[in-house]
Structure 1
């Protein structure tokens, strides 16, 4: 089971990966980073991405369509995908045995990357990630 550093290095093996991070969306702090950051600053990226994660996790509008409840330690959202002209920003929420307040972030070049494959790999890495 990989830790944060190993997980991030694995994510960076994806074609088109520009940068990656593990972020605590409650505090907005990056627990680990690798590669580049949009705007050149990993801490700013982590804080801004955490704000998006908090909005998606806390608003009823993003709850499952079947009306099912979610527990306090689980977000109703699996992924957030933000696209612009040249890249994708993927946030994948990590389910943990404690408070599930962590997500994997990937900055992916649009021309070189494969969004579908990146989502699959982030999901796999989130399942294997060991925090602690």
Structure 2
């Protein structure tokens, strides 16, 4: 699946407010969907790049021989889900960033759907 299709499928997840595919080496988004006046996905993509880089540095410092599946940031009204792309066929420096309305979202299902999108996405 291509980037546009992946973003459309992510926005079809119940409660989805916005989604971005981000390269954490550059901090740039390869594509976004949703968002709005109160959610600038370009700014959020750049900011969450720092979250990913920081966690990777900590893992390296601790000599953890593991990889990040996803990072969850829980707000009072939203979930912010960062899913690192570890699938074969994708560059290793990408992540999907999904913002969910907490009242309308099912976090377990959202994680399941993002994993499926990650598996099918070809970049």
TM-score (structure 1 length as normaliser): 0.83
The alignment's C-alpha RMSD in Å is: 2.2
Q: CA deviation at 1:41?
A: 1.8
> Hey, what does 1:80 align to over in structure 2?
71
Q: Deviations over 1:8-37 (max 9, x none)?
A: 100111110000010001111010000015
Structure 1: state its 5+ residue gaps.
71-75
Q: CA deviation at 1:99?
A: 4.7
TM-score (structure 2 length as normaliser): 0.89
Distance 1:18 1:63, change over 3 A: farther
Q: Which runs of 4+ in 1 moved over 2 A?
A: 37-40, 60-64, 96-99
> Hey, what does 1:73 align to over in structure 2?
none
CA–CA distance in 2 between the matches of 1:89 and 1:124? 18
> Hey, what does 1:112 align to over in structure 2?
104
In the alignment, structure 1 residue 93 sits paired with structure 2 residue 92: no
Q: Deviations over 1:92-124 (max 9, x none)?
A: 000245750000110000000000000011111
